[in-house]
Structure 1
Amino acid sequence: MPAAPVADEADVLVVGAGPAGASVSHYLAQQGHRVIVLEKSRFPRDKVCGDGLTPRAVAELIRMGVPTREEDGWIRNHGLRTSGAGHRIEIPWPELSSMPSYGLARARTSLDETLARHAEASGADLREGVSVTGAVRHERTGRVVGVTARPVDEKGRRAGDEVTYRAPLVVDAGGVSARLATSVGIEKDAGRPMGVAIRTYFRTPRHDDPMMESFLELWDGKPGESNLQPGYGWIFALGDGTANVGLGTLSPTATPTRLDYKGLFATWMQNVPEEWGFTPENQVGELRSAALPMAFNRKPHYANGLLLVGDAGGMVSPFNGEGIAYALQSGRIAADVMGQALARSSDYERVKALRTYPRIMADELGGYFTLGRGFAHLISHPRIMRACVRYGLPRPVLMEFVMKLLADGYDPRGGDWMDRVIAALAKAAPVS
């Protein structure tokens, strides 16, 4: 079979234009490199997510120079309201030197396009409606030197012939499926935690709530008559008349939990106050679910010319299912490493620079994710989960510490005693 014709060449090919792909493309383009971004969908496109950004994610947006004004469609939130076991507590986001004291919310239908267009404005060459079909590897070294791809229509159907894109460096930013990484033998680790998120939207008078809200009691039947599930429900106000309402569950391994997620969501909706308006008549869009790959469940993050960023590398927190912050962070770090590598004068020096990427990511997040894996195992036991909710929520100081830990809202290089304790735990935790 003849080789697919070469459609174009670049310094770096990025597969996927979600937050991770947009981040790495933005930073590389700012450095002056030719970056081609291949995105299967066409914007605007949706992604199952809570639509909430923690202060850590906001700090990454600020670094990118993304405008986050209210008139641009963003809504700020100033803390977390948590309910469970008859208790409710509100904790403001901490004031830290490394991140702002507010979070943001924005529907992924507009967030992802905003970030992709920002990368495009920085100089990245964004090509929508292009589905990557496989890796192109050097016949002698096995190094990834490009991808094959074909155009697709709005429904994902083939709309043209297969072509080849070539570059000395390729980035898989393709999300949880990580098809490019899988095609070259980088498989997920079934022993790492896996989450599932399910969400929809409701028209609600709570659309401008200044707090993110989480509910720590998810029952698979009537409360008190069945098990408390590991996970939480959320309400994230979007400021446009609607709120993102969903739940996330957690398994300590990638083994399917066989939970009835839609039933779990329906049970929760039956027990919320009527005045919130979470009724079928007010529901906007269908109830959709997605997997959350956690705690570096796919490695190595660099091998043979291919780098993994964001969900493709399992960069979702086992503590709370947060992925956007780490997608943006990994894109920034990967771009810096690739920029250094592209400036080297020999293959040996380039590879030496590229091999620092997984080490940096391990240093930044490895210990924290290890703590999260322990947390996932702990709350998988209903009795422990119930005790944590019942006895933890009434204690404000303990809950402030827990929020900093679960939301990754601590300053690793200073801050108060809570920050120092969490930083010490993360540093002491083994990285694997």
Structure 2
Amino acid sequence: MKDLLVVGGGPAGLATALHAAREGLTVTVLERRAGTVDKACGEGLMPGAVAALADLGVDPAGHDLRGIRYVAGARRVEADFRSGAGRGVRRTTLHDALRDAVEAAGVPVEQATVHGLAQDADGVTAAGHRGRYAVAADGLHSPLRRSLGLDRPRRRQLRRGLRRHYAVRPWSDHVEVHWAREAEAYVTPVADDLVGVAVLTTRRGSYDDHLAAFPELLDRLAGAPHAGSDRGAGPLRQDATARTAGRVLLVGDAAGYVDALTGEGIALAVAQAGAAVQAIARGDVAAYEQDWRRLTRRYRWLTHALLGATSLRPTRTALVPAAERLPWLFGATVDALARPADEPGRPHSSPTGQSAG
């Protein structure tokens, strides 16, 4: 019997496996898909995520990011990261780098479809595999979260994301966030000849329909060939009633997700993975719930605040002009988002607020 079964071979699951191997636990990863896994995401790693991955021995190739720029028509405001460079990384490149590290650590990754978990006093069984504990890292719409009775459905209108790559030389070393009336477009350089453009919106429609709301971007990308297939994800908002059920812990998007607009997903997943493994190593699974709340508090607060503000059209329209008038506020918020997920806040000469890309 293994110490730990990890269900899900995306970044959250693979990071959990690496933390477990470092802790000296025996672990097996169960993933239903073979090969490199792609998904729709902004592909921008904040400096905290770059540092957290490096601590696990993972250093994916990509394009350095100096900061974040907000754009609304002719208005724009930008802030540089104070804690080092971020990095734009193709999702497939990140997955390959994590898989290579897991393989180097001697952790087996088995192709298996897990429909449910069976628990008893001594362990957990999943797809014929047995472990003392299990981590569910099976993504945004986690089947295991539902099967464990931890899913909290939401009925109101929710946001979705679409992503496309363009074979074009990046025109900036910042993540650009373009604001329109009902959508944002996130432009992330991921290589010297490739940019990803992700659109977040509550409206239905094709990628081209949504991109039409950003005429400056259309001009920039005119004639640039598409690279690969479009990807979509959503609804983005997912809630869980708890992060643990018996001997099972939820990590990453499976544990609950607010929105992608702050770009902290990978940093949070790596931090949650470490906290889950520490709870398992101590034999105190219940402590993970409190650790999860501590690690995600800043993300949840900033993301809820920004979503609430930008859901109102007058506030949404005023966001970039306000950031222009208060650059210290914009810079302080970008700095907060750039820090590692578990790093305590640092004092600033001026109060901080919420806004990010």
TM-score by length of 1: 0.74
Q: What pairs up with 1:419-430 in 2 under 5 angstroms?
A: 421=352
Q: Taking structure 1 as reference, are residues 239 and 22 closer, same or farther at Cα in structure 2, changes over 3 Å only?
A: same
Once residues 421 and 248 of structure 1 are traced to their aligned partners in structure 2, the CA distance between those partners, rounded to angstroms, is 25
- Deviation by residue 1:95-138 (Cα, 9 ceiling, x = unmatched): 3xxxxx110111111211211221221232112x3211221233
Question: 1:206·1:243 contact (CA, 8 Å) conserved in 2?
Answer: yes
Paired residue secondary structure (1:243)? strand
Asked which structure has the greater RCO (Cα within 8 Å, sep 6+), the reply is: 2
Q: Taking structure 1 as reference, are residues 246 and 372 closer, same or farther at Cα in structure 2, changes over 3 Å only?
A: closer
Q: What pairs up with 1:60-139 in 2 under 5 angstroms?
A: 60-68=52-60, 73-95=61-83, 101-127=84-110, 129-138=111-120
Once residues 254 and 146 of structure 2 are traced to their aligned partners in structure 1, the CA distance between those partners, rounded to angstroms, is 10
Question: 1:192·1:373 contact (CA, 8 Å) conserved in 2?
Answer: no
Q: Decide which of 203, 211, 228 is 1:266's aligned counterpart.
A: 211
Once residues 29 and 169 of structure 2 are traced to their aligned partners in structure 1, the CA distance between those partners, rounded to angstroms, is 39
- Deviation by residue 1:65-118 (Cα, 9 ceiling, x = unmatched): 2235xxxx32211112221142122311013xxxxx110111111211211221
Once residues 84 and 144 of structure 1 are traced to their aligned partners in structure 2, the CA distance between those partners, rounded to angstroms, is 53
| Cross-structure match for 1:386 | 317
- Alpha-carbon deviation of 1:288? 1.9
- Alpha-carbon deviation of 1:181? 2.0
Structure with higher Rg: it is: 1
| Cross-structure match for 1:235 | 187
- Deviation by residue 1:282-338 (Cα, 9 ceiling, x = unmatched): 1112322102645x7213111111100000011455652531111111111111111
- Alpha-carbon deviation of 1:421? 4.7
Once residues 258 and 421 of structure 1 are traced to their aligned partners in structure 2, the CA distance between those partners, rounded to angstroms, is 31
Matched, 1:322 2:264: yes
Matched, 1:297 2:239: yes
Question: 2:88·2:188 contact (CA, 8 Å) conserved in 1?
Answer: yes
Question: 1:318·1:376 contact (CA, 8 Å) conserved in 2?
Answer: no
- Alpha-carbon deviation of 1:45? 2.1
Once residues 85 and 331 of structure 1 are traced to their aligned partners in structure 2, the CA distance between those partners, rounded to angstroms, is 40
Paired residue secondary structure (2:37)? coil
Once residues 8 and 47 of structure 2 are traced to their aligned partners in structure 1, the CA distance between those partners, rounded to angstroms, is 24
Once residues 192 and 205 of structure 2 are traced to their aligned partners in structure 1, the CA distance between those partners, rounded to angstroms, is 30
Flag structure 2 segments of 5+ consecutive residues without an equivalent.
Answer: none
Q: Decide which of 270, 275, 290 is 1:359's aligned counterpart.
A: 290
Q: Decide which of 295, 307, 320 is 2:249's aligned counterpart.
A: 307
Aligned length: 353
- Alpha-carbon deviation of 1:211? 2.0
Q: Taking structure 1 as reference, are residues 122 and 238 closer, same or farther at Cα in structure 2, changes over 3 Å only?
A: same
Q: Decide which of 269, 275, 281 is 1:333's aligned counterpart.
A: 275
Q: Taking structure 1 as reference, are residues 269 and 371 closer, same or farther at Cα in structure 2, changes over 3 Å only?
A: closer
Paired residue secondary structure (1:333)? helix
- Alpha-carbon deviation of 1:269? 5.6
Q: Taking structure 1 as reference, are residues 292 and 313 closer, same or farther at Cα in structure 2, changes over 3 Å only?
A: farther
Q: Taking structure 1 as reference, are residues 261 and 379 closer, same or farther at Cα in structure 2, changes over 3 Å only?
A: farther
Matched, 1:146 2:125: yes
Once residues 267 and 392 of structure 1 are traced to their aligned partners in structure 2, the CA distance between those partners, rounded to angstroms, is 25
Q: Taking structure 1 as reference, are residues 409 and 194 closer, same or farther at Cα in structure 2, changes over 3 Å only?
A: farther
| Cross-structure match for 2:44 | 52
Structure 1 consecutive aligned stretches of length 4 or more whose deviation exceeds 4 Å: 191-194, 315-319, 405-411, 420-423
- Deviation by residue 1:40-60 (Cα, 9 ceiling, x = unmatched): 112222111111101121121
| Cross-structure match for 1:203 | 167
In the alignment, residue 137 of structure 1 is paired with which amino acid?
Answer: Q
Question: 1:315·1:326 contact (CA, 8 Å) conserved in 2?
Answer: no
- Alpha-carbon deviation of 1:392? 2.7
Once residues 235 and 222 of structure 2 are traced to their aligned partners in structure 1, the CA distance between those partners, rounded to angstroms, is 25
Once residues 390 and 370 of structure 1 are traced to their aligned partners in structure 2, the CA distance between those partners, rounded to angstroms, is 22
TM-score by length of 2: 0.89
Flag structure 1 segments of 5+ consecutive residues without an equivalent.
Answer: 1-8, 96-100, 149-163, 219-227, 250-256, 342-352, 424-432
- Alpha-carbon deviation of 1:372? 2.6
- Alpha-carbon deviation of 1:29? 1.1
| Cross-structure match for 2:329 | 398
| Cross-structure match for 1:179 | 143
